[in-house]
Amino acid sequence: MRILIAMMKHETNTFSPVVTDWARFQDWGAFMGADVVKTYKDTAMPIAAYIKIARELGAEIVTPLATEAMPSGKVTKEAYEYMAGLITDAAKDVDIALLDLHGAMVAEHVFDGEGTLLARLRAMRPDLPIAVTLDLHCNLTQAMVDNCTALIGYKTYPHVDMYQVAEQVGRIVVAAVQGKLEPVMAWGHPALLSQTLRQGTDDEPMKTLIAMARDAERNSDVLAATVFGGFPLADMPDAGTSAIIVTDGDMALAQAERDAILEEAWRRREEFVYQPEPLQEAVGRAKLMTNGPVMLLDHADNCGSGANQDVMTVIAEVLRQDLDDVVVGAVWDPVAVQAMQRAGVGNTITLKLGGKTDMAAIGLKGAPLEITGTVKVLTDGRWIVRGPMYTGVSVNMGPSAVLDTGHMQIVVVSRHHEPWDRGVFTSVGIQPEHHRYILLKSRIHYRAGFGDLPTATVTLDGDGVTTSDNSRLTFEHVRRPIFPLDLINEP
Ligand SMILES: [Zn+2]
């Protein structure tokens, strides 16, 4: 038996000005052939579970591609066709395909990157059993559902169950191949464009919806039940919340469980809308919290959802109000890192930090912040994740440095990396738990590595293309009407 195992992932923020080409995939990681197994077999990634299943079956493993890029703008046509071509070429003579996809990949020429890939596979190999894992931020489409045998999404945000869901869906498809069960799927998506900042699975309303999915799976006829928060910043027709239920041949059961989850999601639609707080007031409130560590979230500039990690609005306000003992993870500015390398450790430098990117989609001109500090640390930015998300995966933040202003230590990196693991700090010699304020360019994923640390968390509404202020975004492609862009009362 030959089993194809592949990963092709990108969460596309169509408001980002950053072009996602093949080089950007290579920056985060692009592997082929034997390197795929070597790189991922001992990690917590879906692909590791697929490798385990294939080995148990004694199958030959075919690994044309395993790649992922940090979220950013549309994937170039060239990169998309190259990656999709590697997978479809390899699928010509395999018996099963186990795929690790995201579900919110938009390319220059296709809205539905995953559905397009799956449709091509299905057209070429109508009987090929295909298992698919998708991110909780997947924008599910008819093409994805129509062109695979079974699909499943993560039940956690932060995503700490990637391995488990891959093992679940992989075993469903293997059992189907062995004639032990017959997967059927029912899916749906109400007119609900929920905001990412309101999708944490430890918070309501996702907590209840995920509990409903887990309850559904207690019925042995329900093989997999998934609720997708969706990714509103990929402006494509199917963006938004959805659910899909896989049962063993029982379509009525799949539909009933789907309806129950989606009715609850719609009933609680208001809870998926983020309630803002003026930045000055929020920072002022944080300043009164002296029992740290207090988590400060610069959520509008979170590169883990496609922002550019170099907007200085929040950092400037925290400096202006003079909060003391702040560590910042992290600002993307390769030019500043080079300047700090030239200055050398221990020397004082004045920098125009960040603000290198114009963001036409939100009418923002890049505005660097002039800042003086001491170069405290210089590193190559390489470390391995030891926390619960992406466990075992090698990270490369590029040449990195720490600028110490006396009140604030800022980690500056050369490649985008969302701070979901403490390695962002510990790799540059900072122990975050020993500081009063931890300012992160993150939204929810920080909870994976830092969740047990803060005495309080304050979300700070700055600028950037992961803003939770819908009035700053011009949606052109998502189906309308949709809540909350349109204040409708029918799903
Ligand atoms: Zn996600």
Q: How far is the CA of 82 from the centre of ligand 1 (A)?
A: 24
- 87 with 64: CB under 8 angstroms? yes
Q: How far is the CA of 27 from the centre of ligand 1 (A)?
A: 19
Predicted local distance difference test score (pLDDT) of residue 290:
84
Predicted local distance difference test score (pLDDT) of residue 490:
85
To the nearest 10°, the Cα dihedral for 129, 216, 144, 51?
-50
Q: How far is the CA of 113 from the centre of ligand 1 (A)?
A: 16
Name the region of 398 (left: φ>0; alpha: ψ -120 to 50; beta: rest). left
Q: How far is the CA of 446 from the centre of ligand 1 (A)?
A: 12
Q: How far is the CA of 306 from the centre of ligand 1 (A)?
A: 11
Residues of the chain with pLDDT under 70: none
Q: How far is the CA of 159 from the centre of ligand 1 (A)?
A: 7
Q: How far is the CA of 334 from the centre of ligand 1 (A)?
A: 26
Q: How far is the CA of 160 from the centre of ligand 1 (A)?
A: 10
User: Which pTM was predicted?
Assistant: 0.96
- Of the candidates 402, 289, 286, 298, the residue with the CA atom closest to the CA atom of residue 341: 402
Q: How far is the CA of 485 from the centre of ligand 1 (A)?
A: 22
Predicted local distance difference test score (pLDDT) of residue 3:
98
Q: How far is the CA of 161 from the centre of ligand 1 (A)?
A: 12
Predicted local distance difference test score (pLDDT) of residue 85:
98
Q: How far is the CA of 71 from the centre of ligand 1 (A)?
A: 10
CA-CA distance, 326 to 171, in Å (whole number)?
47
Predicted local distance difference test score (pLDDT) of residue 489:
87
Q: What are phi and psi of 478, to 5 degrees?
A: -65, 145
CA-CA distance, 84 to 89, in Å (whole number)?
9
Q: Where are the beta strands (DSSP E) in 53-95?
A: 60-62, 66-68
Task: Tell me whether strands 326-332 and 408-413 are parallel, antiparallel or unpaired.
Answer: parallel
Q: How far is the CA of 181 from the centre of ligand 1 (A)?
A: 30
Structure tokens at 312: 């200085």
DSSP per-residue letters across 333-365: -HHHHHHHHHH-TT-EEEEEES----BGGGTB-
Q: How far is the CA of 153 from the centre of ligand 1 (A)?
A: 10
